[in-house]
């Protein structure tokens, strides 16, 4: 008989430790799982070096780890824990095969903390700036309920859905921003390098440029782009406006004003409302499925919303629920959520299947967003071509109108300066 020492989470969420006798590791795992314990660590009893004291462990601060890497980490941990491995063994397995240095350091620190008696969720929370409040709250729920493997997979599913949605939006906006940037660069090159070559011709022919406002405008822009001082002043002005915007957007009032404005912008506002509603629905559904209370789920979902108006709507709905109101009625009073969302929430409350209804809403709005983004892309492409054509046409107009004036004056027998 071998003796194994273990650390595990009991049904009440408390960390317990002890020893179990078994003929092998597999039998020990079976005995502990039969007691309803969620294993954190299982080691064969033998002499060895003392474990590091938790009080000697500093709180580590990691640079930002990419969300895709975190989603992969949660999914792999979920699969390993579901297979029956203690959480420390699962973390150690990922640590050995992890090729990303920052993630490897994180796993080493989490493993050391859990081995020293700290709960898994608390060990993850000690990794400053890595995990969101939603993720950490779900981990605590998983520890308390004994369903850590399921919660880990749900966190991965939630992150994957968020990454997919944001990726689609970025892909749809990448082309218009590229074209706008290219058009700006083209315009700058034309007025900085090509336009000045025509200026001596116009001056030599005594052309009255006041008759050609487009040409005058292009020359004014050209003088700015060719003057280092003017360019510095322009950059300083734009930087000042950027700083003012950052200062305003850092205040709650500024965030509300910007959020309200963004939702009222034609086309863009509807896309933002759809994407935010889809993301909020999916997040709330995952939180409720993991056993989190409705009020806490609403408050955490509000923290994930990037638009302050949507976030405030969720927080206000939570306050209404505290006063005894229904969730659907609380959403309906906010006037920021789509009507279908409010109706489906009401159906979910009535049938007792709120998480399932929220998933349906999220999937519906994701499909609607996909269709909208495809329509937007098909409209944006010709619009961008029109913008590039407009830039080139404006330049050609500004250059050749004075030249046509010179040709017309010469063919009429008079100088360009005489009328």
CA-to-CA distance for 21 and 23, rounded, in angstroms?
7
Task: Give phi and psi for 181, each to the nearest 5.
Answer: -65, -40
Give φ, ψ of 210 to 5 degrees: -65, -20
Task: Read off the pTM.
Answer: 0.65
Are 62 and 128 within 8 A, CB to CB? yes
**DSSP per residue, 253-296:** HHHHHHHHHHHHSTTHHHHHHHHHHHHHHHHHHHHHHTT--HHH
Q: Which two tokens stand for residue 103?
A: 């993630």
Tokens of 112: 């050391």
- Write out the E strands in 10-76: 15-22, 38-44
pLDDT in tens, the chain (419 residues): 567 777 776 766 666 778 877 766 667 777 777 777 766 667 766 544 444 444 444 444 445 678 888 898 899 998 988 888 888 888 888 888 776 788 888 888 888 888 888 888 888 988 888 888 888 888 888 887 778 888 898 889 888 888 887 887 787 778 778 888 888 888 888 888 888 888 888 888 888 888 888 888 888 888 888 888 877 888 899 899 989 988 887 787 888 888 888 878 777 778 888 888 888 888 888 888 888 888 888 888 888 887 888 888 888 888 888 888 888 888 888 778 888 888 998 898 888 888 899 989 988 988 888 887 777 777 777 888 888 888 888 888 888 888 888 888 777 655 555 44
Rounded CA-CA distance 97/231 in Å is: 52
Token look-up 């408050």 returns 299
| Rounded Cα distance, 81 and 88, in Å | 10
104-120 as b/e: b if 16+ CB within 10 A: eebbebbbbbbbbebbb
């Amino acid at each position: 008989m071998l003796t194994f020492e273990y650390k595990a989470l009991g049904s009440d969420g408390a960390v317990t430790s002890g020893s179990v006798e078994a003929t092998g590791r597999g039998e020990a795992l079976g005995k502990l799982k039969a007691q309803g314990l969620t294993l954190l660590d299982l080691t064969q009893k033998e002499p060895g070096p003392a474990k590091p004291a938790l009080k000697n462990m500093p709180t580590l601060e990691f640079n930002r780890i990419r969300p895709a890497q975190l989603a992969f980490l949660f999914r792999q941990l979920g699969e390993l824990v579901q297979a029956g491995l203690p959480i420390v063994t699962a973390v150690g397995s990922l640590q050995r095969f992890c090729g990303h240095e920052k993630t490897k350091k994180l796993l080493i620190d989490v493993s050391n903390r859990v081995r020293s008696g700290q709960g898994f969720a608390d060990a993850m929370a000690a990794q400053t700036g890595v995990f969101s409040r939603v993720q950490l709250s779900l981990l605590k729920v998983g520890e308390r309920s004994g369903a850590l493997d399921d919660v880990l997979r749900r966190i991965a599913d939630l992150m994957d859905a968020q990454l997919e949605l944001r990726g689609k939006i970025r892909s749809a906006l990448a082309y218009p921003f590229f074209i706008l940037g290219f058009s700006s660069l083209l315009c700058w090159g034309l007025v900085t390098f090509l336009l000045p070559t025509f200026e001596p011709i116009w001056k030599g022919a005594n052309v009255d440029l006041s008759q050609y406002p487009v040409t005058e405008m292009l020359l004014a822009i050209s003088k700015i782009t060719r003057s280092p001082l003017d360019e510095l002043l322009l950059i300083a002005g734009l930087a000042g406006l950027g700083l003012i915007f950052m200062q305003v957007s850092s205040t709650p009032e500024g965030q509300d004003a910007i959020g309200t404005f963004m939702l009222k912008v034609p086309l863009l506002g509807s896309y933002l409302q759809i994407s935010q509603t889809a993301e909020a629905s999916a997040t709330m559904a995952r939180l409720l499925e993991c056993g989190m209370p409705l009020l806490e789920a609403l408050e955490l979902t509000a923290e994930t919303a990037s638009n302050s108006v949507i976030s405030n709507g969720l927080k206000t709905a939570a306050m209404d629920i505290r006063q005894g109101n229904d969730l659907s009625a609380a959403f309906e009073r906010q006037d920021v959520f789509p009507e279908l969302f409010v109706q489906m929430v009401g159906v979910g409350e009535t049938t007792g299947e709120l998480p399932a209804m929220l998933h349906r809403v999220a999937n519906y709005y994701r499909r609607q967003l996909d269709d909208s983004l495809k329509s937007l892309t098909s409209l944006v492409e010709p619009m961008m071509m029109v913008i590039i054509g407009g830039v080139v046409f404006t330049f050609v107009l500004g250059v050749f109108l004075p030249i046509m004036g010179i040709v017309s004056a010469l063919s009429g027998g008079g100088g360009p300066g005489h009328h």
